Amino acid sequence: MDSTMIDVKTGATAAPSGNHSLKVASVLIISLFFLWALTGNLIPVLIPHLRKACQLNDFQSAFIDAAYWISYFFFALPAAWLMRKWSYKTGIITGLLIAATGAVLFFPAAEWRSFGMFLFALFLVAAGMTFLETAANPYITIMGSPETAVQRLNFAQAFNGLGAFVAAFFLSKVILSGKEFTHEQLNSMQPEVLNAYLLSEARSVQVPYLVIAGVLVLTAILFMVVRFPPIQEEHSDGLQINFRVFRHAHFRWGVLAQFAYVGAQVCISSFFIRYAGYSGHMPEKEATTLLGILLLCFMLGRYAGTFFMRKIAPRRLLLWYSIACVLLLCYSVGVGGRTGVYLLPAVEFFMSIMFPTIFSLAIHDLGNETKSASAFLVMSIVGGALIPLGLGAVSYYSNVQLGYIVPLICFVVVGYYAWQKA
């Protein structure tokens, strides 16, 4: 059977007879966007959850974000090397199996109520997701016409929004108990009662993460057995760090913008339950439901952005959306209250297009340097590990509402990048 050959530089298909295999491959690739959103967007739930189960303060709980997102920095280049040596498909399968291993480790981490093991498990899950993102983002851009690459990536990233919504609206209900005690109430408990409560809280993550591990393994098996249409890929035996790609100004500034954006995205969602409780005086369960709506707005924003890009240049839309995020956060930081909480879903809507748009603009017209560029862009996700520490520190020394000035500054950086490109 003939198969479609996709040219990395042009995105053109060489033969129409492989359309069916191309469609199957596209569906499997798009499923990856859902999966890494499912794991990444459980972090806003794990922060208040482990804060209770492991008795952490705001600054300590920020290391939950750090453990997850810093993995992207360490594994992006090894992921790119693996794919240069073998293929995108090999990188994807490897990532799925690594992530599944990390998900399984949640079981012993909960049994021992070990914060360190939780962080290591998250680090491994994120390591696997690094492989998926390094492969899937550029892969989807070359599976068709280069003229529609940005729209195509935004469409695929919309399923990332769906995974985020499922994590926040459904899995969060399984993990979070809704039982909230003050420090005085906890201190008044008998030691055995306190330990039983904390262990019960910790164990609520076991079943969800075992299910996630099973889904990841099943997906890896599908990738092993399904035939993918061949594409032209650059191959190399050695680990090559191509810093020359930074000679391209649009890529260099794209890495900085992506670093800022991911940091802002993680801050907005990860501390949302804490912000809603402090500024809007919302109980945990109500805030969790609103978190689901917040991430639903993120998903809807991806679909809307894909539609708007048919009429509006992606870089111009990126500028307008950045300005909207800055203005909305000015109110949430300066005034707050329930209105400030309710404005954050709008921020999610407007920031939804930023990652795929920055990614596509940054790798535009890089030819056979695309894989190396993709690795550096995925490494920039380390912003999600470092920037929330800043919010956590502001929250620790002041309050979480003021801490949201950190993502506000990040959106100013993204807006500047978009203004340069507009």
Using DSSP's 3-state secondary structure scheme, residue 13 falls into strand
Residue 4 lies in a domain: no
Residue 362 lies in a domain: yes
Residue 237 lies in a domain: no
Residue 6 lies in a domain: no
Q: How far apart are CA 199 and CA 54, in angstroms?
A: 9
Residue 297 lies in a domain: yes
Domain that residue 293 falls in:
17-231+246-421
**What local confidence, expressed as pLDDT, does residue 379 receive?**
84
**What local confidence, expressed as pLDDT, does residue 342 receive?**
96
- CATH number at 316 reads 1.20.1250.20
Residues 39-78 as b or e (16 or more Cβ within 10 Å = b): bbbbbbbbbbbbbbbbebebeebbbbbbbbbbbbbebbbb
**What local confidence, expressed as pLDDT, does residue 4 receive?**
32
Residue 12 lies in a domain: no
Cβ distance 6 to 12 under 8 Å? yes
For the chain, list residues with pLDDT below 50. Answer: 1-17
What is the number of other CB atoms lying within 10 angstroms of the CB of residue 374?
A: 27
Report the sign of the C-alpha dihedral through residues 123, 127, 128, 132, in that order. positive
Domain total of the chain: 1
**What local confidence, expressed as pLDDT, does residue 11 receive?**
37
**What local confidence, expressed as pLDDT, does residue 13 receive?**
38
